[in-house]
Amino acid sequence: MRLLPLALALAPLFPPLALLAPLFLGYLRGLAPWALGLLGLYALSLLLPALLAPEPLAFPLALGRVFYVLGLVGAGVALSRQAPEPARALAPLGYGLFLLYGSALLASYLVFGDKVAEIRLMHPFHSPVGLGFLGALGVLLAVYVRYPWPFRLLLGLLGGAVLLLTASRGGMLALLLGSAGGLLFRGRGLWALGLAGFLLFAALSLDTPISQRFFQAHLSGREGLWLRAYEVFQAHPWTGVGPYVLGDYLKGTLFGDCFLFPLLEAKGLACPDGLRPLGGLWTFAHNHLLQALGESGILGAVGLLLLVGGFLAGAWGEGLLFSLLLAFAAMGMTDNPFSVPSPFRGEIFFLVGGMALARGGRLPAALGFAGAVALLWALPFLYLATRPPLPPPALLYAAIPSGEGMGFLRFSGAEGYRVQVWLCGEKACQRLGWEWPGDRRVAFPFPQDLPPGEYRLRVLLFSQHRLAQRPLYLWEKEVVR
């Protein structure tokens, strides 16, 4: 218990420390009955669908997630008992994030040298998106926690610099919405919102390809992951396929079957053959609602929403806790910031959630926040559903070999579309090439090491809109290798 603040400071650089979280399960006994009931519902929403899920490992994996998440919540309760003021309890986290930022700058410079300013900031065990989100959390901590002024200034500046250098649009969205949430309770939310506005102005002034990402509306391939996750949910609406198993159905849609963190791959390291069967464990739907639906069906999604709603209800009235939780919820529209285990990113969410539940709260407020979060996470898809479709294109010709060599396609009336070609096996789909403009000939290669079998070749056309994309044309063909 006494070492918990030290562990919180060290965990950003040594994430395996978070695996000790189940040791804090006993602290859950001090929560109010409504909070215990909420945690029980969350556990059941994972375990019951897993019993009937098609994957044999679904139940033990669900059980592991339940113990880990509840342990993290218990650690948050323990933190709140040790330091009743949330800003004081979370102060060690700022020191850990500061060291993490410094290690990211150093590692990126050692790998890229003088070209580091031309490439998104990276870390050996964080993606640029996740690292930028942690930069946003550092800004919020610098605003709310009463650190010594020199360190407070350094943490805010370095967190903002990390957010800018990673060009994480999700991180910027999290900072904006989290800061806006803080406005409801105390004036420091205005400071945080002002800093977010300053960072956006700085990104606009820099006028570099990296900084201009903040003002681009493309989804960076997320539309394919969203489509695959929704198809998995359609096939298993009540049970999903099981926690941590959804990635087996998603891998290959955006990247390969297995990939490492970008900085490691930039150094020439590739995913070892022994890890390739496990590559789906770190492939996500990039939307928490779709992730929950694909993993545990409707019941799992409802359980997750109730848990997030309960956290927000408990944090109501406390600027720092509410801002941090709202930042995670905002990021959940386009990413999976509190999927755990992680390099001590998602763990922060459940720690803060435990601190929020320890403050109390009311079940009606939790239900209201759960509905609001569901609407927030569904916003991209509500937008897609309201976009008027373009005139449907027509397939002029398709030359598809038997699973080897090059394939060719050409469409008529496909101006304004982008073409993607997927090769789907029993579970997952692999994207062939990247994408092509709809008004040009499409030439795509088949994998050279494709094993014999039956596959489905799927051709998808996405229509570019101002904020998002959706597939408007789908053509399939059976391919036998």
**How far apart (Å, rounded) are the C-alpha atoms in residues 376 and 365?**
16
Whole-angstrom Cα distance, residue 372 to residue 383? 16
Two tokens at 264? 């490691």
Point out the residues of the chain with pLDDT beneath 70: 1, 186-187, 383-390, 403, 464-472
pLDDT attached to residue 470: 61
The pLDDT value recorded for residue 204 is: 82
Which of 380, 400, 267 minimizes the C-alpha distance to 333?
Answer: 380
Question: Would you say the C-alpha torsion 33, 34, 35, 39 has a positive or negative sign?
Answer: positive
The residue among 17, 18, 162 whose CA lies nearest residue 104 is 162
Q: In percent, how much of the chain has pLDDT > 70?
A: 95
Element (H, E) at 291: helix 288-315
Residues of the chain with CATH 2.70.50.70: 394-480
Q: Which residues pair with 455 in a beta bridge?
A: 479
How many degrees, rounded to 5, is the angle at CA 439 between CA 436 and CA 441?
60
Q: What is the pLDDT of residue 389?
A: 63
Q: What is the pLDDT of residue 193?
A: 85
Continuous segment of H or E residues that includes residue 436: strand 436-437
Domain spanning 394-480, CATH class = mainly beta
